[in-house]
Amino acid sequence: MSFTLPELGYTYESLEPHIDATTMTIHHTKHHNTYVTKLNGACSGNAALNGMDLLELNQKVGTDAIPSDQQTNVRNNAGGHWNHSFFWSVLSAPSNTNGPSAELKAAIDGAFGSLDEMKSKFNAAAAGRFGSGWAWLGVQDGKLTVTSTANQDNPLMSTVVGSDACIPILGLDVWEHAYYLKYQNKRPEYINNFWSVVNWDMVNVYYADSVQGKVPKL
């Protein structure tokens, strides 16, 4: 199947001042689009890959379902496409962001003690990710967990095991291209400001689905 760059549910300026329009424009039209283009190239003429959608490609990374000569290609580019598509969906203009649902808030309190404690642990995972990667809030065995992955890996991939495997309900890109134009080397400031543009309505939907074992299908 052929993959396309998803449209955003907001303008590039919508996340100002927390994420600037220039970064959003480059991030979406250049970085994300490159992953889409390279993924289509990997799948072109390959019957094994063409039979899988984006979610399946990510879940099959590291298994025999992905041809050995395309493992790295699919891991990087299917991962990059899924991660970014997911990331755009959990962002919202500051004026539109609400908060966790009663159900999600109860789960956060049960797993972390409070919303602030969850944010603190998430922030630490994002700030502590060496080099490029992602921080995630996800559901594992019905309970919330925080983890991080390197490069364009995500917690859905078979290569991610143990406590790092989960169904993501919130994610943050901590590659330098996601923040460097505005924040330079101040990654913690970018991470703190991220909470001002979280689309909690979407996170609530992902949480409700995840406790039923449903993975976001983007």
As annotated, the binding site for Mn(2+) includes 27, 84, 173, 177
Annotated binding-site positions:
27, 84, 173, 177
Residue 154 in tokens: 């995500």
Q: Other C-beta atoms within 10 Å of 200: how many?
A: 20
CB atoms within 10 A of CB 93: 17
Whether residue 17 is preceded by a cis peptide bond, meaning omega within 30 degrees of 0, is yes
Alpha helices in the chain (DSSP H): 21-26, 33-43, 47-50, 54-60, 71-89, 102-112, 115-128, 180-183, 187-194, 200-210
Amino acid at 94: P
Q: Which residue has the tokens 């000569």?
A: 69
State the Cα–Cα distance between residues 16 and 203, nearest whole angstrom. 20
C-alpha 57/C-alpha 50 separation (Å) is 9
**80, 30 Cβ separation under 8 angstroms:** no
